[in-house]
Amino acid sequence: MTVFEGTFTQLESVKLAIVIGRFNDLITTKLLEGCQDCLKRHGVNPDPHGTQVDYIWVPGSFEIPMVANQLALSGRYDAIICLGAVIRGHTPHFDYVAAEVSKGIAASAFQTGVPVIFGILTTDSMQQALERAGIKSNKGWDYAMNALEMVSLMRQMRHKGRSGPYLPNTIGATSTPVLSAGVDTDESSEFSTESGDRSNP
């Protein structure tokens, strides 16, 4: 029997997309920094003007799954990393958003065969979110590691599929330019330093 296990080497050709929610950007920008640091230390160039990582900013976590799905369907990326923060307030809003985001991200991965990493913090308080975005540790690093490991693992399985029972997943292959109307590569690759009062409703 064959054992498949992802590694963190030979990443020069990896192509990633990172989808970031602007809502709670005090948290999401810190997660992004941790993610970029991890990628850089593992040989992936996180420069938004480079060729390996594209950045797509969306209004909030709820919009992340739709964009992640379109990116996965494009066939241009080895993995998609989703970064967001949903913080519990005094209304049921948290439960609805957290549930739909998690289901949407999972569905994108299942439907396309592209690793879509769940990097959405779901916490009871801003303090808990801050602790996970750099005060104690930065989960952004972990999300990047998950993406790199899954890219390696999927490549191994698809390579094996050429001569064994593991078949390459072609669900996401499409000739339709699904990104042409929604994502401008020049604008989507720019960082945002926009800030303001984005308290959870």
Catalytic residue IDs: 93
Judge whether 20 and 56 are in contact, CB under 8 Å.
yes
Three-state secondary structure call for residue 156: helix
Q: What is the CA radius of gyration of the chain?
A: 17
Per-residue exposure over 163-183, b if at least 16 CB sit within 10 Å of its own CB, e if not: eeebeeeeebeeeeebbeeeb
Q: Any residues with CB less than 8 A from the CB of 8 and at least 6 apart, and which? A: 42, 145, 148, 149, 152
- The residue to which tokens 């998609």 are assigned: 80
CA quadruple 26, 28, 30, 33: dihedral positive or negative? negative
Three-state secondary structure call for residue 109: helix
Tokens of 197: 């009062």
